[in-house]
Amino acid sequence: MLYLVGLGLADEKDITVKGLGIVKKAARVYLEAYTAVLLVDQGALEAFYGRPVAVADRETVESASDDILRGADKVDVAFLVVGDPFGATTHSDLVLRARQLSIPVRCIPNASILTAIGATGLQLYNFGQTVSMVFFLDNWKPASFYDRIKENVSIGLHTLVLLDIKVKEQSLENMARGRNIYEPPRYMTVAQCAQQMLEIEDDVKQEGVYTRESLAVGVARMGSEDQKMVAGTLGQLCHADLGRPLHSLVLLGRRTHDLEREFLEEYAVDRESFNAVWNKDYGGKG
């Protein structure tokens, strides 16, 4: 059996009881380590599980999945995923490859950012399509996600923006020269995401949907003891410091409830300005 085991969002103790039992008896244990990261290192997992854990990077999962699936028709193999196993389409691909080899598959769900974002007080029913924001380059500012944000805005829904993670990435030069040299890990912050969102808005100008005065919520390390949230305008969040990764951002839609405002003002950069913008542009609109 191939088991896809969700680890939750924070540390080694977020794994479910069912998931832990599977990990302890599996012949091999892999940790997917590029769509998201836990707030503890591999050693903490191995100490808690009492098992060695092999780190599976993007290349391993996408190009060498046969190594992961080897013998999984005869023994149990556990593939550990931060959050929930199906939070990334890559893992759907792994399941399809297992099916082609007649390997049975079982998924053990866990908490993900898609549900944990409810801790902001924003109603999950009022979220639209989730999008991803990648690091911009001087000559490359992909904005394919923007149409989905506009669709969410058109019906008043919030947008959860997942922020870019660069782990075991090569520079173009090293890739072209075939050198196995990797760049240091990078994790996008709420401030960087807010700045890039406003860059996109500047580019689309008259067709834009958010401004520096639009409300947003930044979150960091959701599910951990030191999780942090901050609410304010996009302009204010350009200067927010939420500490270490992982970060996410929510762009507020107009379909709001006053309970959401009451919940969020606890985390406002400035309560007076937050409430003023809310009452002007968000309160009772939808």
Sequence ranges of the binding site for S-adenosyl-L-methionine = 9, 84, 87, 112-113, 163, 222, 247
Structure tokens at 162: 């997942």
Binding-site annotation: residue ranges: 9, 84, 87, 112-113, 163, 222, 247
Q: Which residue has the tokens 């989730």?
A: 130
Q: Show the DSSP H helices in 50-105 as ranges.
A: 58-63, 65-69, 89-100
Q: What angle is formed at CA 117 by the lines to CA 221 and CA 243, rounded to 5 degrees?
A: 25
Question: Which pairs from 118-121 meet CB under 8 Å and 24+ separation?
Answer: 119/219, 119/222, 119/227, 119/229, 120/217, 120/219, 120/229, 120/231, 120/250, 120/263, 120/264, 120/267, 121/259, 121/260, 121/262, 121/263, 121/264
Pairing of strands 247-251, 131-133: unpaired
Distance CA 235, CA 215 (A): 9
CB 218 within 8 A of CB 229: yes
CB 270 within 8 A of CB 236: yes
Distance CA 56, CA 80 (A): 9
CB 135 within 8 A of CB 183: no
Alpha-carbon Rg of the chain, whole angstroms? 21
